[in-house]
Amino acid sequence: DSRATEIGHVWRTMKDTAQDFNTRVVALAQFNREAYKSEKRPYFHQVEGSGEGEKAVDVGMVLWTELNNGQPGARPATIHVDYQRDEDAGTEVNLVFDGRIMEFRSASQPPIDFND
């Protein structure tokens, strides 16, 4: 099988399993080469096998962190809702990724001070 066929099978199997168990699934996926060549944030349609992904998912989100930006140990991050079945997409949630404790937090929360 081709790589695209394999990825499509994974997306369909994940959707079928979620429906069988009446549950929600969160999947992490790799972006295609096009996304890595751009200096802009990636979009859901740039996820590897996204054609099958868009058929399988109800909401497609991209978690984006900005490297070399922000304070030491903490950098800006955003969750972008790029794809939403039967509804408008475009919602953004601003976060901060704190690499010292490997945690995402709301951008409106004050940073953790380890000296207190």
pLDDT in tens, 39-91: 778 888 787 766 777 777 888 888 888 777 777 678 888 888 887 877 777 88
**Residue 20's pLDDT is what?**
95
What are the phi and psi torsion angles at 100 (to 5°)?
-70, -30
Decide if pLDDT at 116 tops 70.
no
Residues 47, 29 contacting (CB under 8 angstroms): yes
* End-to-end Cα spacing for the chain: 57
Compute the average pLDDT of residues 1-8: 78
